[in-house]
Amino acid sequence: MSAKAFDAIVVGAGQAGTPLAGRLNAAGMKVALIERKLVGGTCVNTGCIPTKTMVASAYAAHLARRAADYGVTVSGEVGVDYKAIKARKDKVSGASRTGLETWIAGMEGCTLFRGHARFESANTVRVGDELLTAPKIFLNTGGRASVPDLPGVHDIPYLTNSSMMDLDVLPSHLIVVGGSYISLEFAQMFRRFGSEVTVIEKAPRLTGREDEDTSAAILSILENEGIAVHVGAGDISFAKQGSGIAVTFAADKPAAVGSHVLLALGRVPNTDDLGLDKAGIAVDQRGFVVVDDQLRTNVPGIWAMGDCNGKGAFTHTSYNDFEIVAANLLDNDPRKVSDRIEAYALYIDPPLGRCGMTEAAVKKSGRRALVGQRPMTRVGRAVEKGETQGFMKILADADTGEILGCSVLGPGGDEAIHCVLDLMYAKAPISTLARAMHIHPNVSELLPTIAQELKPLT
């Protein structure tokens, strides 16, 4: 069989692959875009869009239950129609996927192949019965939930972040194994839908990459909503118990018995079944494709973007990967991965927005630093909204004034953080933030105030 020739092959129609196919096509290239499951990748189908749609429903239920706090009368008990919540989620997610599919179909020089791509050589890929060849190949194959080989885990009907999206019944008791970002979003969401929720984490605290004060505040937020949290759970095992599932996590404590179990224990790259060895593409010990600062693999003419390269596990890092590759290839703009500043959000309520270094990282660096912090109880906008959990923290270099990092855990924290992130990209000193006039009343208006009140970090 002779191979079909293209100028470029993009493997994976996720948040980097799809826009890159569009840029390459607009540049006059003949492009093959390959997707084995759903166009849009994790973000559109099982990640950001569907989960944040459900987070919005959970917030509406939570606010309705608090109506009396605002002097609003709601007659009767606040109910949750989980099938309607799922239908709304499916509609929003489906519309996004359909929009992408329509866009791809309108690209005259782009062909979408449905199926599992496997390398046969460094410039040849097979998809089912089709053999495709191109001098440029781009990987955007994403990742999936990790399922560690814990005792009894394969004897129970566990859920992952993906299969949670197909769940059409509300769990009576959801046990979430894992205490990081995905797990905590689901934990709070389903608690607000009416489920009993238990979180089990093997580490000494939740969200281990955050500072201890942030982890403690997140724990308080969850426990205030009636979520049972167990940390330091060393020996986790699973077993069926009647119609439920028992999760044992400590020798001196009784097992938690729930109706459903969600495993949220990290993610692994989708690289193990691509035939990378036939192309000579190097991967690291965890299976991530090894790339340089411009996302080139060790094989000339092959790039890797998104979750499969280990350079970030977010939609925004994946899209930024696309921008870096496109800038270098098409715009004569030598952008690099190392140019970007770490930034992300945790979408519990209130959300956490984070950018730059944590306090722990700054201390470890050994540099002299300044820190400023303010609880949301002293932020007027938060008080007015009746949402005073959390705090804001800013870190700066004591010698240069460089802004090192910021955390905003509170109402609008995922938006307010960009006030600081943008200044960091502009390489503006902390004095620029201190002298800025922000709009009142607003959560972010306290960021300049904090910048004026920095003290030595000890």
Highest CATH level, class, for 153-265: alpha beta
Q: How far apart are the first and last CA of the chain?
A: 68
User: Contact, 289 vs 274, CB < 8 A?
Assistant: no
Q: pLDDT digits over 135-172, tens only?
A: 999 999 999 999 999 999 999 999 999 999 999 999 99
Q: CATH code for 343-456?
A: 3.30.390.30
CA gyration radius, the chain: 24
Q: Tell which residue, 109, 114, 116, has the closest CA to residue 8.
A: 109
Tokens 């309607």 belong to residue: 84
Categorize the per-residue pLDDT at 250 as very low, low, confident or very high, splitting at 50, 70 and 90. Answer: confident
Tokens 């800038």 belong to residue: 327
The span from the CA of 419 to the CA of 383, in Å, is 21
Categorize the per-residue pLDDT at 1 as very low, low, confident or very high, splitting at 50, 70 and 90. Answer: low
Q: pLDDT digits over 299-321, tens only?
A: 999 999 999 999 998 999 999 99
* Range(s) within the chain of domains with CATH label 3.30.390.30: 343-456
| Positions marked catalytic | 440
Other Cβ atoms closer than 10 A to 258: 22
Other Cβ atoms closer than 10 A to 61: 17
301 by Cβ neighbours in 10 Å (0-12 / 13-18 / 19+) ranks as: middle
How big is the CA angle at 372 (ends 366 and 378), to the nearest 5 degrees? Answer: 155
Q: Which fold has domain 4-143+268-339?
A: FAD/NAD(P)-binding domain (3.50.50)
The span from the CA of 344 to the CA of 207, in Å, is 13
Categorize the per-residue pLDDT at 252 as very low, low, confident or very high, splitting at 50, 70 and 90. Answer: confident
Alpha helices in 244-293 (DSSP H): 276-279
How many CA atoms within 13 Å lie on the side-chain side of 111? 13
* Range(s) within the chain of domains with CATH label 3.50.50.60: 4-143+268-339, 153-265
Q: pLDDT digits over 400-441, tens only?
A: 999 999 999 999 999 999 999 999 999 999 999 999 999 999
Q: How far is CA 12 from the centre of its chain?
A: 18
Categorize the per-residue pLDDT at 2 as very low, low, confident or very high, splitting at 50, 70 and 90. Answer: confident
Tokens of 303: 């790039």
